[in-house]
Amino acid sequence: MLGSEEIIAELMGRIPRFIGLMLSGSEIEAADGLSQSEFRTLINLHRCEGRPMADYSKQLGISKGSFTYVADNLEKKGLIERVPMLNDKRKQALFLTGKGKVLARKIDAEFTQNIKQNIACLKRSDINKLESALRTIDHTIDLLKERT
């Protein structure tokens, strides 16, 4: 007899497969000469700008060292800019440039469209359950962050 915790641990291992299925096809859309991390960073910035770099690296799930590389490339392409924060000189806030905003809006729309297509085969009731499940996960993020 397994407790909830064991079941959760078991199910955690399946999430990458879920992501793979939900996002299949969007790599192709990413082909504005963007890597996956660049693509996702632009979307994250499109949804919330001006936060320190560490926040975006955590959102991506990559190390801060790796994210420096991603940010460097986006900056070279003229899509984002680093802005030192006034209240803490260690931190660099990220913002989209005008060019970056245009591209971010486009790929965010494509990303959403792609997910729509991928779940188009689901029944309405299954889509509703999925939405509810993802909301729970999003809420759990907040609960887990509080502790840290």
Partner DNA sequence: AAATCAATGTTAGAATTCTAACTAGTTTGT
Partner DNA sequence: ACAAACTAGTTAGAATTCTAACATTGATTT
**What residues make contact with DNA under the rule CB under 7 A?**
27, 35-38, 52-54, 57, 61-73, 82, 87-92
Nearer residue to its own copies within complex by CB, 84 or 134:
134
How near is the Cβ of 47 to DNA at its closest, in Å? 18
Shortest spacing between CB 97 and DNA, in angstroms: 16
Beta bridge partners of 95: 81
Q: How many CA atoms lie within 13 A of 52 on its CB side?
A: 11
Task: Give the residues lining the site for its own copies (CB under 8 A).
Answer: 4-23, 40, 43-44, 47, 58-61, 111-112, 115-116, 118-119, 121-122, 126-138, 140-141, 143-148
CB atoms within 10 A of CB 71: 21
What is the biggest distance separating any 2 CA atoms in the chain, rounded to whole angstroms? Answer: 56
Q: How far is the CB of 46 from its own copies (least distance, A)?
A: 10
**Rounded alpha-carbon distances, angstroms, from residue 74 to 79, 97, 101, 108, 124:** 5, 10, 12, 16, 38
Pick from DNA, its own copies, none: which does 130 bind, CB < 5 to 8 A by kind? its own copies
Report phi then psi at 94, rounded to 5: -110, 140
State the minimum distance, in angstroms, from the CB of residue 50 to DNA: 11
